[in-house]
Amino acid sequence: MNPLQIELPGLSLKNPIMPASGCFGFGREYSQFYDLSMLGAIMIKATTYESRFGNATPRVAETPAGMLNAIGLQNPGLQGVLTNELPWLEQFDVPIIANVAGSQVEDYVEVAKEISKAPNVKALELNISCPNVKTGGIAFGTIPEVARDLTKKVKDVSEVPVYVKLSPNVTNIVEMAKAVEDAGADGLTMINTLLGMRIDIRTGRPILANRTGGLSGPAIKPVAIRMIYEVSQQVNIPIIGMGGIQHVDDIIEYFYAGASAVAIGTANFVDPLICPTLIKELPEKLAELKIDHISEIVGRSWKSEVI
């Protein structure tokens, strides 16, 4: 038995490791480095109905153990993704999770309806938590009623299971998670980036042209772990965890917190081979920890607590 094989709604994964949306484009650049078929899945760059150029530059700024980004959902639009990107990805034996974004409900619904028909799209990731666009995005991810309504409408039209990507920029993450679960979400992905800012001390101005950006990288891992720990005890749908994973130990920590799979984001920029490396190291780590199958340890941190 493959100790890494995972079954999640819509997704049969040969391993629980996948690149996170926005950190991997549509895979072309990384295909220079390795065969994308070895990945558990690929979460492709957010797709909006119309193509978007995104924000002005600078779009990134480094921070201690992390980085800020404010790309602004640059993407070729629904038609561009359906025509050029998804067919190209069909050469690989890997399920695609399509990240769907928009600035109004109709955009999300239209993109979800069309993109979920693509043969290699096995699940959607509803992006209700992008902090870097002026309208929509994060608003959908911070008000439970709005998130519930949007999830319901997307579920009505999607041909594949829907995972909702939660924003950490909320007071009560459990309330958000329960709201989208009620609305029929098949799973959660968490967390998106934390809203942050850096100021250039020479100019006295924010470094990012967008002023604020989303913080990612190892700096946010404890926040993600805490949120997954809280949410996984309160919902009955699986969680794909992400935020600052760099080492195989980080993956174990995410599973202990309550994640059923993980996504790798910022680390791809530091080491383009990070996903294959982790996929190779994970079985060795499990053997070392005497774990027969990765799914055994989901939520171990709270399951083992004496209440």
Partner 1 sequence: MIRQEDMTIVSQKLIASNIYELTLKGDLVEEMEQPGQFVHIRVHQHVSPLLRRPISIAAIRKDLQTVTLIYRAEGDGTSLLAKSRSGDKVNVMGPLGNGFPIDDLGKGQVALLVGGGIGVPPLYELSLQLRNKGVEVIHVLGFESVEKSFYLDQFSELGKTFVATVDGSLGTKGFVTDVIEKEKIDFECLYSCGPLPMLRALEERFATKKGYISLEQRMGCGIGACLACVCHVANDPTMKKYQKVCSDGPVFRMGEVMI
Instruction: Please select the residue that binds partner 1; options are 7, 29, 93, 249, rule is CB under 8 A.
Output: 29
CB-nearer residue toward partner 1: 170 or 251: 251
> Which positions from 106 through 145 interact with partner 1, judged by CB under 8 A?
none
Instruction: Please select the residue that binds partner 1; options are 6, 8, 10, 22, rule is CB under 8 A.
Output: 22
Q: CA 183 to CA 187: how far, in whole Å?
A: 11
Q: In this chain, which stretch among 49-57, 124-132, 192-200, 297-305 interacts with partner 1, using CB under 8 A?
A: 49-57
Q: How far is residue 220 from each of residues 73, 232, 242, 266, measured CA to CA in Å?
A: 21, 18, 9, 11
Based on the shown chain and the rule CB under 8 A, indicate whether residue 67 belongs to the binding site for partner 1: yes
Based on the shown chain and the rule CB under 8 A, indicate whether residue 190 belongs to the binding site for partner 1: no
Give the number of other CB atoms < 10 A from CB of residue 55: 21
Q: CA 177 to CA 80: how far, in whole Å?
A: 31
Contact 46, 101 (CB under 8 A): yes
Contact 231, 239 (CB under 8 A): yes
- For residue 70, say whether it is annotated as part of any ligand binding site: yes
Contact 131, 193 (CB under 8 A): yes
Structure tokens at 182: 């009620």
Based on the shown chain and the rule CB under 8 A, indicate whether residue 42 belongs to the binding site for partner 1: no
Binding mask 221-260 for partner 1 (x = CB under 8 A): -------------------------x--------------
Catalytic residue among 11, 23, 44, 130: 130
Secondary structure class of 282 (helix, strand, coil): helix
Q: In this chain, which stretch among 69-77, 111-119, 148-156, 190-198 interacts with partner 1, using CB under 8 A?
A: 69-77
Q: CA 300 to CA 294: how far, in whole Å?
A: 11
- For residue 184, say whether it is annotated as part of any ligand binding site: no
Q: Is 23 annotated in the active site?
A: no
Based on the shown chain and the rule CB under 8 A, indicate whether residue 197 belongs to the binding site for partner 1: no
Q: How far is residue 127 from each of residues 47, 187, 246, 286, measured CA to CA in Å?
A: 9, 13, 23, 32
Q: How far is the CB of 56 from partner 1 (least distance, A)?
A: 9
Eight-class DSSP state of 49: S
Phi, psi of 42 (to 5 degrees): -130, 125
- For residue 99, say whether it is annotated as part of any ligand binding site: yes
Instruction: Please select the residue that binds partner 1; options are 4, 6, 14, 30, rule is CB under 8 A.
Output: 30
Based on the shown chain and the rule CB under 8 A, indicate whether residue 60 belongs to the binding site for partner 1: yes
Structure tokens at 295: 């799914």
Least Cα distance to 254 among 209, 223, 210 occurs for 223
CB-nearer residue toward partner 1: 272 or 283: 272
CA atoms within 13 A on the CB side of 53: 3
Q: CA 259 to CA 44: how far, in whole Å?
A: 20
Instruction: Please select the residue that binds partner 1; options are 2, 7, 12, 62, rule is CB under 8 A.
Output: 62
Q: How far is the CB of 91 from partner 1 (least distance, A)?
A: 18
Q: CA 133 to CA 72: how far, in whole Å?
A: 5
Based on the shown chain and the rule CB under 8 A, indicate whether residue 203 belongs to the binding site for partner 1: no
Based on the shown chain and the rule CB under 8 A, indicate whether residue 34 belongs to the binding site for partner 1: no
Specify binding-site residues for substrate.
45, 69-73, 127, 192-193
Query: What residues act catalytically?
Result: 130
Contacts with partner 1, residue ranges (CB under 8 A): 22-25, 28-30, 32-33, 51-54, 57-62, 64-67, 69, 71, 74, 217-218, 246, 266, 268-273
Specify binding-site residues for FMN.
21, 45-46, 99, 127, 165, 191, 217, 243-244, 265-266
